[in-house]
Amino acid sequence: MNIYLEGVLAAMGINILLALSARAILATDRLSLGNAGFMAIGAYVSAYLTVSLGWDLYPAIAVGGSAAAAIGLLVGLPVLRLQGIYFVMGTLAFGEVVRTFFQNFEPTGGAYGMRGMFGTTLTMIYVFVAAFLVLFLALGRSRLGYVADALHDDDEAARSIGINVDLLRLLAFAWGGLIAGIAGALFAHYALYIESGNFNFLVSANAVLFVILGGVQTVWGAILGAVIFSLLPEGLRFLADWRLSAYGVILVGLMILRPEGILTRAMLRRLAGFFVRKP
Amino acid sequence: MTALLEFSQVSKAFGGVLAVDELSFTLDRGELVGLIGPNGAGKTTVFNLASGVQRLSRGEVLFRGVKISATSPTRIARSGIARTFQNIRLFRSLTVLEHVLVAQSCRSASLLTQMLPFASATDRTLRRQALAVLEVFGLADRRDELAVHLPYGGQRRLEIARAIATAPELLLLDEPAAGLNDSETAELSGILETLRAQGYTILLVEHDMNLVMRLCSRILVLNFGRLIASGTPAEVRGSQEVIDAYLGVAD
């Protein structure tokens, strides 16, 4: 496979993971703009383990992801007390704190960044994508999936039937942290070189954008969003300098034409009906 | 025997306004009690205090003799108090059946069992129970529709069905007849009688006086957060204070 195509597909896989991570949190009616922070934690922790301590890649990915999830629990406790835009601001601050921390933290290279990581293959990335997709689909069909829908739709009514809204939000936040952390670990060992700038606010914003444009109602929306908006900038390369402007115009157009996102539940149901119906 | 629910000298202040003022009353097991009063009398606040949505300022609320006035809404719901809402609060992405299934799962509480797919054996039992609940509320044949597509009366009934599905001992119903037409109200009244016969204890906030007078064994009357009368429907109807509260007093 040529290197350009492989690079595009790898970035797309990482983006899918980031979209899933954003969706995990959005599914509980909270919008996080700090997932790049989780990604950075997964990336730097795993890179430190493989480069400085000589660990194998898989345990390093596991520990990197778990570290991000653990930080998610710690940070989630106070931040999830905030609502609406205050929660968004809190997560945004979290992401920036993490980025600045690694910019100044000498043991992982500080402003010079880190190199020496290797080992992530395209197959590995997509095995993780497939694994998380299966988990999402299974959870969506479980009782917990309906519970999550309930608390997403109405906090107070959910509490009134005994749903532990706060605990579930916290777990969802950590779950999103785990996925972004693993995405970060994979990214670090694919990109060969990382610096704190790789994990800036735009990465978090894009993750949310994929989900909202693809469709927040289903997991497939998140995946479709990540796929389309990873490939679109590449497809627009013929426009040269106008590429990113065209990309922006397309985003705005989509928001106007399909405010619920490209894929909705009703649409999936219609599609399913179309294929199931007998002639 | 201790009362099922007891309000003891409960006050709730919003800023300088006392929404509930030194309110004391008890509910015994199996009673269907009406809570009435003019708009703004503090009826919904009483519900919010009993279900933990709001914290009281003074006094205490006891459920089965245990203080619950500092307990979270989730815990209170799990301990056996269920409520409905004055402005209907259904889940817009769930179907009718799913509303009942979700509410049931508050008891099969373990997070891990909830993560298992829907096919297990306990699940089939729960599903059967859910359908039985929908049957009582006349919603069984619309079980797979989105709840928000139900007609208004159906939505009101589903709110009660969802509350019942949590297997409560005490049911707090906030204006279940509001906005219903005559035939829907009759249907609701039948359901309430069934629930009373099944042994649920019910506290009913309602403006439909015919319904309240006919169903309730006892009525509490609130005005400006204070209990101004309580007794049988006949006693309350004859009370001068109640008549003044509803009609006003000439200067």
The domain spans of chain B are 15-247
* Beta-sheet pairing, B170-174 with B201-205: parallel
User: What backbone torsions phi and psi does residue B25 show, to the nearest 5 degrees?
Assistant: -165, 165
**Residue carrying structure tokens 């990309």:** A247
Tens digits of per-residue pLDDT, B122-157? 677 888 889 999 999 999 999 999 999 999 999 999
Residue A212, in any domain of the structure: no
Structural domain span for residue A121: 3-199
CB atoms closer than 10 angstroms to residue B6: 19
Residue A78, in any domain of the structure: yes
Beta bridge partners of B27: B5
Residues B163, A139: C-beta atoms closer than 8 Å: no
Please check whether residue B82 touches A, CB under 8 A.
Answer: yes
Number of structural domains found in chain A: 1
Per-residue confidence (pLDDT) for residue A279, from 0 to 100: 42
Residue A16 has which token pair? Answer: 């899918």
Q: Which of A161, A165, A265 sits opposite B166 (nearest CB)?
A: A161
Average pLDDT over residues B59-81: 93
Q: Using CA atoms, how far apart are residues B146 and B144, in angstroms rounded to an integer?
A: 7
Residue A8 has pLDDT above 50, yes or no: yes
Average pLDDT over residues B214-241: 90
Residue A246, in any domain of the structure: no
- Give A215 to chain B, closest Cα distance, Å: 14
Q: Given pLDDT bands bounded at 50, 70 and 90, which one contains residue B121?
A: low
Per-residue confidence (pLDDT) for residue B139, from 0 to 100: 94
Q: Given pLDDT bands bounded at 50, 70 and 90, which one contains residue B111?
A: low
> Which is more confident, A271 or B54?
B54
Average pLDDT over residues A232-251: 84
Per-residue confidence (pLDDT) for residue B120, from 0 to 100: 60
Average pLDDT over residues A56-85: 96
User: What backbone torsions phi and psi does residue A216 show, to the nearest 5 degrees?
Assistant: -80, -15
Residue A70, in any domain of the structure: yes
Q: Which of B72, B118, B162 sits opposite A142 (nearest CB)?
A: B118
Q: If you count residue pairs, one on A and one on B, with CB atoms under 8 Å apart, how many are there?
A: 96
Tell me the Ramachandran region of residue B55: left when phi exceeds 0, alpha when psi lies from -120 to 50, beta otherwise. beta
- DSSP assignments along B22-54, one per residue: EEEEEE-TT-EEEEE-STTSSHHHHHHHHTTSS
Query: Under DSSP, is residue B123 helix (H, G, I), strand (E, B) or coil?
Result: helix
Instruction: State the pTM of this model.
Output: 0.91
Residue A218, in any domain of the structure: no
- DSSP assignments along B216-236, one per residue: -SEEEEEETTEEEEEE-HHHH
Domain CATH code at residue A160: 1.10.3470.10
Residue A277, in any domain of the structure: no
Beta bridge partners of B23: B10
Counting Cα atoms < 13 Å in the Cβ hemisphere of A212 gives 18
Q: Which of A142, A154, A171 sits opposite B91 (nearest CB)?
A: A154
CATH architecture, range B15-247: 3-Layer(aba) Sandwich (3.40)
Residue B71 has pLDDT above 60, yes or no: yes
Residue A167, in any domain of the structure: yes
Per-residue confidence (pLDDT) for residue B110, from 0 to 100: 63
Q: Which of B89, B92, B105 sits opposite A143 (nearest CB)?
A: B105
Please check whether residue B145 touches A, CB under 8 A.
Answer: no
Name which of B98, B123, B162 is nearest A145 in CA terms: B98
Residue A147, in any domain of the structure: yes
List, as ranges, residues 2-21 from B with C-beta within 8 Å of A: none
Contacts of A134 in chain B (CB under 8 A): none
* Beta-sheet pairing, B58-63 with B5-14: antiparallel
Instruction: Please give the mean pLDDT across all residues of chain A.
Output: 92
Residue B236 has which token pair? Answer: 């309350």
